[in-house]
Structure 1
Amino acid sequence: MNWQIKVFDELTKIKLYNIIKERINIFVVEQNCPYPELDNLDQQCYHLFSETNGEIKAYCRILPKRLKYDEVSIGRVIVKEPYRRKGLATELLSKAIEFINNELVETEIKIQAQDHLQGFYGSFGFQPTSNVYLEDGIPHVDMEIIDKQN
């Protein structure tokens, strides 16, 4: 699988357009959840994605420490529908965590997970750190990988 990680300024206009298009298709249209997809955080994030011929197959963004939380965060995790149930989400999360551990030299990671995905994120070592709450009408839970060295 061809994975790329880029800061905002390294994204071409067409790559950025394709990423945002897929995020809107999944989070707003597919999940029937009207919310402000563009939140002024993308400009300071790392963007991890896999594409073929311009088609975004899987994507997430990595938020540096203190941008949204005290910890590094992974967000906007998507796999385009035709590529689901093929291990792409597992590969995506593995690559994101590897980048955070090796390049950002961070071991604590916080996410807002959809409640039904707790088991998936738990398989990477994420533990729930909040009760379930509604975020844009969808049950979510905060989860973290806590620094194992402390």
Structure 2
Amino acid sequence: MRWSWSRFADLGVDGLYDALQLRCCVFILEQGPYLDPDGLDRVAWHLLGRDASGTLQAVLRVVDPGAKYAEPSIGRVAVAPEVRGTGLGRALVAEGVAGCGRLWPGRAIRISAQAHLQRFYASFGFETVSDTYLEDDIPHVEMLRKEGP
């Protein structure tokens, strides 16, 4: 997998199109309608994972500290349906956490995680810090990965 980090303005038309297409496939077609372009993409880093043929297989964004939460926030984590179960989601989140560490050393990371994925995110050091709430009609919890060394 070839990973690339870009700011919104640096994604280019093809990168933006590919990211939005994958996010729509996962978040709108699979999970139901909601407004994916929420205004936070412009204040975020975007991580794209392309396979050897250049096809986008994984994407996430990291919203800048202060834009959504006080901490940087990983979200819009999506893996193409045809490559799920291969470990790509784990590699994507690991790269996202590592990128946060490079961009904001020592800072905590806060996420709004789908409730059924708590154990997955806990394996990266995230701890649940809220009760369950509905976000886009899906149960979520807020999780925090405390500051690194």
Q: How far has the Cα of 1:67 moved from its partner?
A: 0.7
The residue matched to 1:28 in structure 2 has which SS? helix
Give the corresponding residue for 2:115.
Answer: 115
**Where does structure 2 lack aligned partners over 5 or more consecutive residues?**
none
Q: How far has the Cα of 1:12 moved from its partner?
A: 1.4
How far apart, in 2, do the equivalents of 1:46 and 1:106 lie?
18
Calculate the TM-score normalised by the size of structure 1.
0.93
Q: How far has the Cα of 1:136 moved from its partner?
A: 1.2
Calculate the TM-score normalised by the size of structure 2.
0.94
Q: How far has the Cα of 1:148 moved from its partner?
A: 5.3
Give the corresponding residue for 1:73.
Answer: 73
- Identity among equivalent positions (%) equals 38
- The residue type equivalent to 2:10 in the other structure is E
**Where does structure 1 lack aligned partners over 5 or more consecutive residues?**
none
How far apart, in 2, do the equivalents of 1:99 and 1:148 lie?
13
Paired residues of 1:59 and 1:76 also in contact (CA < 8 A): yes
User: How many equivalent pairs are there?
Assistant: 148
- The residue type equivalent to 1:49 in the other structure is L
The residue matched to 1:76 in structure 2 has which SS? strand
Q: Deviations over 1:82-119 (max 9, x none)?
A: 11111111111111111111232243000000011000
How far apart, in 2, do the equivalents of 1:146 and 1:15 lie?
31
- The residue type equivalent to 1:115 in the other structure is A
How far apart, in 2, do the equivalents of 1:106 and 1:27 lie?
31
Matched, 1:138 2:128: no
Give the corresponding residue for 1:42.
Answer: 41
The residue matched to 1:68 in structure 2 has which SS? coil
Paired residues of 2:106 and 2:148 also in contact (CA < 8 A): no
